Structure 1
Amino acid sequence: MMFSLCNALCFLMFLFVVPLECKSEGYEPASNCSTVECPPYVVIYSQKEFEIRSYKEALWVSGPKILNTSFVPAFPNAILTLDAYYGGKNVQHVKIDKTAPIFVDVQPALYYVQNTTYTANYYVPKRYQNGIPTPLSPEIKPVKLPKYKYAAVNRITFGLLDDAIFLGLTALKRSLQGTPYQRAATFNQVTVVTYNPYSPNDPSINSDGFNEVLVWFD
C-alpha cells in the first residue's frame, strides 16, 4: 500500500518511539455530526482497514456499570439513566441536547464471559463543558475523556451484535500487526462507538450504516 508523505513520516518516527502527529484523511465523518455536536478529533494515521485518532480532552458524563455477558441486553440498560438525565431528570430540570456518538466501554474485551462490564459515556455539549446540570442519580458522573492520547479505530458496517463487535476487534488487531502501532495498542478494554443510539443493532436507521470499535493507547 502506498503511504502518504505524512503517514511515512509517522511510521519512521514511531520506529524511534517519537510520536509525530500528522493529520490524515481517514474515514468519512459521520453525517450525524452535521446536525448534533460530536467530540472533535484529528486523524493521525490512516489505512483502508483502520485509522489512528487523537481526541481532544473534554467533559463527558458516565453512566452505571452494567454487568452482563452480552452487549445486546447490556446496551439499553447502560444508556437508560443517561437518557433520563439528558431528558430533564436532573436538579435543574434542564433538557440537554443529545450528542453523538455514544462511547460504551467494554471490559474486558471479551464476550460471553461472566464478569464483563458495559459503561456508557455521553459527550457533553459545549454549552455545559464548564459545568453540567446536577444529576439526581449518583450513578451519573462527570468525567474527562479520553484518558489516553490515541485511539485505534475500525469501522464496522453492520449491527452491534456480540459477534460483529468481536469480529471488528479481531480485524483491528490483525490490521495493526506490522505497523508502528501494534505494540502501542492494548486490548484489555474496547470502546464500542455507536452513532445510532436508538437502535444500535439496525444500521439501516443510521444513514451512514456504520458503527465503530476503538482501543485506546498512549
Structure 2
Amino acid sequence: MDNQHDPFLDPSPPPRVASWRETAAGILALAPALFIGQLGWVGMKVTDTALLGHVGTHALAAASLSDLWTMASGVLIQGRVLGIFVGNAVGAAKAGTAPWQLAGEWLQVSVAVLGVISCFVMGLWAATGPVLRLTRADAALIPDASYFSLVLLACIPARVLFSQLQQYLSAQRIVKPAAAVALVGLAANLLLGYLLVLGVPTGPSRFGTASRHARS
C-alpha cells in the first residue's frame, strides 16, 4: 500500500509506466552497440589464438596453460553488479527520490573495491609459474606461460576501469563509446600482434624464439 499513488495525499499525476512494446523497443535499440562491443572483445581472443597458432604449437600451448589460471582467478575482478546499482540510482533520480550524484558514488565505490581485489588478483597472476608447477604441468611450457601471465597482469587496471565505466554508461543507455573502444582495441590488438608476436617486420618475439627451440 505504501508504494501506491494516493490522489488525496499526492495530487500530482502518477508516474507513467512504459508498455512492454516500449520496453522491448528500448532494449532492441541498445542491442546493436552492445553486440558490437562484445564482438570486439571476443575477436581479440580469436586473433590472439590465430597469431600464436602461426608461431607454433609451443606458444599456443603455453598461452592456453596461462589462460587456464588467469581466467579461473580473473572472475574475481569481473564486478558485474555496478550496472544494477547505477540503473536503480538513475531511475530514482529521474523520479526525484534520490540525487543524481548517487550513480557516480556507486561508480567510485565499485572502482575502489575492485582496485583492492585487483591487487590480490595481480599477485595470483604473478604466481602463475609456481601454481602451474604444483599442478604438474609440462615444465617446458611453464616459463612462457608465466611470461604470458605477467604481460596480462599489466592490463588489469585498464581492464577493471573499462569494465566499470562500460556498466556505468550502459545503465544510462550510453553504449556507443564502449562499442567504439572495443573495435579500436580489436584493430590495435591485431596490429600489435603482428609486431610483438610474429615479429613483423622486426623479427620473431620471445614466443617465436621459444617455439623454434621447442621444435629443434
Give your verdict on TM over 0.5: no
Higher helix share: 2
Question: Which of structures 1 and 2 has the larger relative contact order (alpha carbons within 8 angstroms, sep 6+)?
Answer: 2
Q: Who wins on radius of gyration, i.e. which is larger? A: 2
Higher strand share: 1
TM-score, normalised via structure 1 length: 0.24
